[in-house]
Chains A and B, each alone.
Chain A
């Protein structure tokens, strides 16, 4: 047998073992069951949203968004007929069960229709409101996890020493710092007083001559704008993951296999970075996955302070103007996203931690 053929055989062997490993970790039966469950969950979400934003507002609180939408002093035409027209357009005049069926259908097929206020498709509205949020939230999530792992391991390696106590308590305290408070103060100082960071996105993306920035300058402006929120969010959100990492690292370092590794002469750096680290980051990574699912949770505050209009603004604005279709659709999309991410997390988990097995 030639060398290359052996390599090929080896590869084939590896591939098939990978496949078989995947199927042994994630049995098809389990997958099917989970998918059905998740689908039921999403269906429940649709019903919940229908109740909350449709039945509650229209039939319990007796609010008609169309009434809100057309100003009381609307002069051009007969206001009542205009409202009736809107009611027809959004189906508020049909019998309730028809509204329900329409609602469920529109949600599950992702045909959300048009916003009550902006003459734009809701899907497009949501998509245009997402990028800046994600530009800030995703990097800070990753950075804060890295910071948490680093500081958690640092503390675990110095367990009980002063540096550990300071480090751990600092991490706990960051958890209780009202983010909007620190953001405001820091933005005021670094942004308004010192002028190091842009204080709003329009300013950041506009050249000094008033022209909107293009190309590289646009990207640079965007980065400059998002730098401060990313840094601040990172510093205020690593705490929980740091404590998780530290707790599990301390536990891992006291476990016997670490002693046994040392006894075998495995170099200390390898013990720490290959064995302690990989064992102790699992909780932090899990937490990061969950946080990734709920990533937009804090966006309202970030947007409010850093002056840009993202998904939080879309929600708040829709709430204030009782833009029911937008509210329902946005929550639905967020929820579907959460369900999918959590589901993926379940799928990835057995590969991060081989002890996890589904059956």
Chain B
């Protein structure tokens, strides 16, 4: 029945045992792409969806018209946040392995996106993150103790024990609640920006989605609404080359870049080197300026690589070459920013090592504090009665009765 099948089955460039092969990635030279005025009509800048905006060259020198003006102190702070995120990820990954938390997702290799973009948005702008934006929380001021407490489902967990690890939110930081259901945040961000426009405010919103998740209908609803109503929203696709075991070709990435997804609707798309903090910052600033000054959405594709496993439940050596990340042509965002700062005379290997050590200790101290608020197995524990809160604004009678039933059963048992 299928011997004569002509169905196209996308195949990644390399599987376990193969040489990594990124020849499929279209790259531009650092500095090669011109910087258009942010209010340029979408139809005149269509090439930005296929080019790759890059600022840092192989030697770590900032090149071309997109090179942003950023104070070295700001870049040093960005480096610190990226390193802190990596230390946090390392720690939490190990804590999952030791059974202290049930699950974790690292963001190794993608830190420049959250940090570089976070530097552009204002506190009053609203963020709709995915589960790999931990650095954006940190950048916007969420205490890493709070992130840890969420993963521990303990008495200081902002989700009150209701969500799996990494499904954070931070109301004060305007960080929306992360959903386990992929892509749902995309239309939310568009709606939030629509309300901003309706109210005549100049706040923008932004959402993040993975390459794989762009296949979901919610992604396409969001683009349509963004194109129709032109709200001030920055839509990001984090193309880290892989979903779980399927590469970006299974989301249509073999035909056209993700940045071009909006072009049929007239939404400008920009493809950026997601491992180049300067480029990410510059492109985001461009898009925010466009949103605030001339209105309308921008779709940004960040080209990056998922440096770690999909999650602690995953073993990527089953479906991709072990050393694929080291062959990734855009390198490691931390190393690249470090190289730039050393090159420009603001940083040294020794300082880097010392900072890393200091952050490691920061994370250790934070973990100690976090577990003092309880762990999955050790007191203090959340009050089980709280399980029935927040289903509705007020606890309905039915739920009050069920809560009592549970207490009776637990009481009878102990």
Genuine A/B complex: no
Q: List the interface of chain A (C-beta within 8 A of B).
A: none
Q: List the interface of chain B (C-beta within 8 A of A).
A: none
